[in-house]
A and B are shown apart, each in its own frame.
Chain A
């Protein structure tokens, strides 16, 4: 971690003199920012999750476990959280092979278009979720682009009823999240030395064996990072289930929003948030027992 090096002793004295730069250049401000604006608010909603809801978002500070009892007794919230995690798994399972294939292609291809193709993924990564989600409404709706074209061509007589269903939701979410899989896989694959694969094949390895023994292990950091981001973002997705989902689509983020905004029940919204956060934190804990969380985040975010 540290980059300690032997400095000239005289220099060290002067550098270590108390200096406003010394004060500013420290992890303090960043840590304080996160503690003050994330950890403190999270602590407050933990407290409020044990309080009684008043009218119009007021909170009556009296200790109660009623919010958690409601979660336990009304099984619907448990199934919604379970379903959210399931959607997260499904989206991750689709995005992994698709994103890996594209990342692998970009990492190994020698085509002149590679930089353009890579640029397009980065641009896609920049496009706001709301736009990527909205795009699927115009494409998949009953009078949308896909159905209009298919009916004009005569492939189908009735519009395909795919919009506002789990299918459209999963499709929109998966495509939106593909850059999170493609980019880290590309980074890992492109650093693999091709001589290793060449050597393996010269020694008689089949394509598949060479892939399994050389490419796959070395692209694992990219895969891990991709899975982490895709799963966390998709399980907690708000826009895709709200805009693309159907009557049977239930996910936790829209439910928390509904309790918070429509019901004005802040303590229960706080309790749901804490329960969902605890589950995510537990999954992350299981995750960190196998892999380095910091490394996975760094691979994904840079």
Chain B
């Protein structure tokens, strides 16, 4: 870092490593500018379509011509008067939060088991645990639907929670395990030397130290659950439908800016809730 500072002259707008180290050669500057150009294009492609959705959700016209001539909350009013939409939103929130807690709990216990205990076939069992990442969601969806119907379990929110916990579990496990690898086990030994039993040690020492990763894991699982469609489409019935399924069926029937309003609500939830939780985590646990 220090060397870099030495080379970079003050007042230049762009402070990149290439120039700092290697002088301002025409070739490397051109290459870096090319890299920046590609980056800008990618960001435009990623973000602009989402921005269009948000802007269009305030467009009073049914045809949704862009840019809107005026702004209104018409579609939000319609959205929040629609019982099916509200129910879907409420279902999605419930399932997301429950799956976050489910995968957070199971992920913590499982990660601790893998890091702290020795048993045979550890490498193979890790792959088993990560396999929900590898099986295409369409197959997870079909397999679970056939399985539950063959053993005679009807569609319910619990079904969604249990399956979304499965889909989030690999993420939760990996995030919590990476924190456990950094964990200083002598702290637990110290607590036990001072007379704490195993449960107290876990509650007073282990949990506070790994909880930041547990919270991150739960946030990620919520996000995954909240947006999952491909497998979930087979698992819902009318009363347990979720927001992505509702958006999909609206796209099939009638495209109107009401979809943009629902998508914007979904964007806000999927971004604001994680940011809020992570922000609180940062505030409450400075480390």
Contacts and interface: CB of A to CB of B under 8 A. Distances in A.
Interface of A: 1-5, 7-8, 11, 14-15, 19, 21-22, 24-31, 33-35, 37-42, 44-45, 48, 57, 59, 98-99, 101-102, 104-106, 108-111, 117, 120-121, 123-124, 126-132, 134-139, 143-145, 148-149, 175, 178-179, 182, 194, 197-198, 201, 207, 232, 235-236, 238-239, 243, 252-253, 256-257, 260-261, 266, 269-270, 273, 276-277, 280-281, 284, 293-294, 297-298, 301-302
A232 B136 contact: yes
A4 B185 CA distance: 10
B128 A5 contact: no
B253 interface: no
B52 interface: yes
Contacts of A148: 65-66
Contacts of A182: 42
Given A2-B118, A138-B53, A130 B229 contact: yes
A30 B137 contact: no
Interface in B115-143: 115-119, 122-123, 125-140, 142-143
Contacts of A243: 248, 251
Contact of A298 (B144, B174, B259): B174
Given A19-B199, A198-B3, 16 more contacts: A5-B185, A15-B192, A37-B166, A101-B39, A126-B223, A129-B230, A129-B244, A130-B263, A138-B49, A138-B260, A198-B22, A266-B146, A269-B142, A273-B138, A273-B139, A301-B174
A105 B133 contact: no
Interface stretch (B11-19, B72-80, B81-89, B279-287): B11-19
A215 to B, nearest CB: 11
B192 A14 contact: yes
23 contacts: A11-B189, A11-B192, A14-B198, A21-B202, A27-B114, A30-B106, A33-B165, A34-B128, A34-B169, A41-B147, A109-B16, A120-B47, A130-B227, A132-B50, A134-B247, A138-B53, A182-B42, A201-B21, A257-B138, A270-B146, A280-B134, A297-B174, A301-B170
Contacts of B130: 293-294, 297
Given A27-B114, A40-B147, A44-B146, A105 B49 contact: no
Contacts, number: 304
B256 to A, nearest CB: 11
B193 A123 contact: no
B167 to A, nearest CB: 9
B110 interface: yes
- How many B residues touch the partner, as a band? 35 or more
Contacts of A144: 66
B169 to A, nearest CB: 6
A218 B139 CA distance: 35
A102 B138 contact: no
Contacts of B255: 137
B142 A270 contact: yes
A166 B181 CA distance: 45
Contacts of B229: 128-130, 238-239
A47 to B, nearest CB: 9
A139 B55 CA distance: 12
B193 A11 contact: yes
Contact of B126 (A127, A232, A294): A294
